Chain A
Amino acid sequence: MRTINVHALGPSGSGKTVFMAAMYRQLRIKRADADFYLKTDHATSVHMNSVFNAVANPQDEWPASTRVANEWEFGLTVTTPAGDFEPLKVKYRDYPGFVLTAPRAAEDERYQHVIEQMKSAHALLVLLDGAGVQACLRGEPHGRRFLDFELSSSLEIVQQTRCPVHFAVTKWDLLEGAHSLAEVRDLLLGDSSFRDLIRGRSESAAGPIRLIPVSSVGTGFAAMQPNGQMQKLGPPARPFQVELPLISVIPDFVTYAFSELQARDQDLLSRVQRHLRNAESGDLSGRYAGRLAMARDLTKRALASRLGKSLKATNPVLAALLHDEDQFADGLFFVVQEVARRAAALTDKRQAADSAAAASLRAGVHDQVSALQLIESQFHQLLTRFEQKYPESLLAGPRAAGFGPQDLDGGLLGDSWAMPAMGGMR
């Protein structure tokens, strides 16, 4: 079973601990519109629930800030008529805020190791303190510190990675109604370091960068007092979009892996795609699976080792994830098939194709690979819906809804690749 490592970072007070608990709360039960849920060990479950319950109880204090690095592992579990499958684990590493901001912490051997670990993440989750963003938008003194110190310390880590990056704007309940996500995006892009980082990513084939508004408690649960403290008001907590950073990880990782493969060895990738198309062209019942298995076997013998070596030299993080002993071809096929499926969805009538594809995938789940395909498909649909609602959320990379035929045929940096306009920024 593969494990995706997501590293969560953000300065003290940005809401990492509460966010993690709210995310688990939202995804621990299977939703009506999805076939997956998060599963974890008993101790983690008890911890997450106790943190969220303390947050949600108006009589309780906010949880104390994190002093130590934590690691939380969740299994993405798929329920199907054929049984339950857990094709993927997501491991979150949650670091105390001082790792980013305290220069003397950087001298400690333990935290030097942490910084190195961050550089090898499969995805980065950067939590931006919504209160700091609000202070910036209002021109308050605390806002200056947020931009000059808290934001810039995270950017140094992001700069050194190629994986997908999700900037979650926490405490969105403070901003909602008064400010839009476009305003927040323009504020961030007004910072020269942030702008240069996004520009650099847009000019390369690295993973997408997204800006995702989230609230662990929802609108009306708490209000900021004049002294900056958050006071609970009494209404129940209703987490808002806390699941989206996790949902974005898989589709964005597939996009990233595909673009990386394409950048490293376009010729080899084209041959894999051709084998795949040939296999699918004979999609007669009973023969499809056999042809696919043959194509996979051929790829494994003829192409995978060459591409594996190439990737190992240029992107060991990605190679390690795709190359699980002799399962490299499976990983490769998964990535290519998912991109092909997205392309097919683009050329057909979208809604009908999505529904039909989801139903077909659900009915066809019989092993870990097909379960992973179902998860990717559902996450991709949810991400597409989010992008339609917040088009300004994509800072760099191709749109989930637009990553398709043009990528399969060649140029990756096409019109669908986002780079926000720089005009009109503060």
Chain B
Amino acid sequence: MTMTTADGPAGRLGGRAWPFVVTRNRLLDWRPIVAPDFMIAQGGEYLLVHAADPGDGPVPSPVFERIVTTKRYGDLTLLASSRPATADLIGGSAQEQLVDRVGRPIQLIEGLVLPGRHPGCAARWQAQLAWVDAIAQQSFLGFWQSEDETEPPASSRALTETGPAAEREVGPGQVASDEGVPGDPGLVPAHGRGHPSPRQVIAAAVTVIASLVVLYVIIRVTRR
């Protein structure tokens, strides 16, 4: 599949970015544990492992930008950063570095995939990168317990540049969404099978209260 790019004739996917998370656990080697739905559908999400490799620099790394050209998806812009995977991700101390089975430190590489070429776009997506960190935290615990080499990553759906759309998210087995993309093949079972985050609980509560208030207002208006 060749995706229509933001710079392409249609520009249909402009202003959207898909979250991804690359990491490993004690036993399983490096892999995406969250990847764009359109990449998983094509079986090409492993390109994130090498395309978003931060190199041998210091960890945590600053946000870096990569533009890659692929046969399947056309040009892609990746925004990513790496940070140490610490035990608070699995309910332990934030001071404890997680290591693999032979004692090597583990990192989390978190970022966004933008279809097309978008040099210098990191500043515009800063808020959404913070959102990806929350997705990573949500997904890591389930992955940490996995020993299944065949398990696919959790699929992510598009975030937009604007804040409110990015906040609207999370359905069952889904780690982020707004209105999705045409031809969405649906969502696969995710590594991110952990409990909802406090942020999600608050968002749900606010939605319920707001709905009740709106309902109350409608009833009062119609009774007059």
State the A residues within 8 Å of B (CB).
11-13, 47, 61-65, 67-69, 96-98, 101-105, 107-111, 131, 149, 225, 228-231
Contacts and interface: CB of A to CB of B under 8 A. Distances in A.
A228 B103 CA distance: 8
A299 B152 CA distance: 58
Interface of B: 22, 24, 28-31, 43-47, 49-50, 53, 56, 70-72, 99-107, 149-150, 152
A110 B73 CA distance: 13
A230 B30 CA distance: 20
Nearest to B43: A107
A11 B50 contact: no
B102 A102 contact: no
A229 B46 contact: no
Nearest to B48: A108
7 contacts: A13-B100, A62-B104, A64-B104, A104-B150, A105-B31, A228-B102, A229-B99
Per CB-CB distance, the 6 closest pairs between chain A and chain B, nearest first, are A107-B43, A229-B103, A12-B29, A98-B29, A108-B46, A68-B50
A65 B29 contact: yes
Q: Taking chain A's interface residues, is the majority helix, strand, or loop, or is none over half, making it mixed?
A: loop
Contact of B30 (A61, A69, A96): A96
A107 B46 contact: yes
Contacts of A105: 31, 46, 49
A228 B104 CA distance: 11
Given A13-B102, A62-B104, A67 B46 contact: no
Given A12-B100, A64-B104, A98 B44 contact: no
Contacts of B22: 67
> Among B53, B72, B100, which residue has the most Cβ atoms of chain A within 10 A?
B100
Contacts of A61: 103-105
B29 A96 contact: yes
A64 B107 contact: yes
A231 B103 contact: yes
A97 to B, nearest CB: 5
Given A11-B29, A102-B29, A109-B71, A228 B150 contact: no
B24 A65 contact: yes
B114 to A, nearest CB: 20
B150 A131 contact: no
A147 B202 CA distance: 48
Nearest to A66: B30
A62 B46 CA distance: 25
Contacts of A111: 46
B109 to A, nearest CB: 8
A110 B47 contact: yes
A229 B49 CA distance: 24
B103 A62 contact: yes
Contacts of B31: 98, 102, 104-105
Contacts of A12: 24, 29-30, 100
Given A98-B46, A107-B43, 17 more contacts: A61-B104, A63-B104, A67-B22, A67-B50, A67-B53, A96-B30, A102-B149, A103-B149, A104-B43, A105-B49, A108-B45, A109-B72, A110-B47, A110-B50, A225-B103, A229-B101, A229-B103
B102 A67 contact: no
Given A64-B107, A65-B29, A102 B100 contact: no
Nearest to A65: B104
Nearest to A12: B29
A104 B105 contact: no
Contacts of B24: 12, 65
A103 B50 CA distance: 16
A105 B47 CA distance: 9
A95 B29 CA distance: 12
A230 B46 CA distance: 29
B81 to A, nearest CB: 15
A104 B99 contact: no
B30 A67 contact: yes
Contacts of B150: 103-104
Nearest to B24: A65
B56 to A, nearest CB: 8
A68 B103 contact: no
Contact of A101 (B49, B72, B149): B149
A228 B50 contact: no
Contacts of B100: 12-13, 65
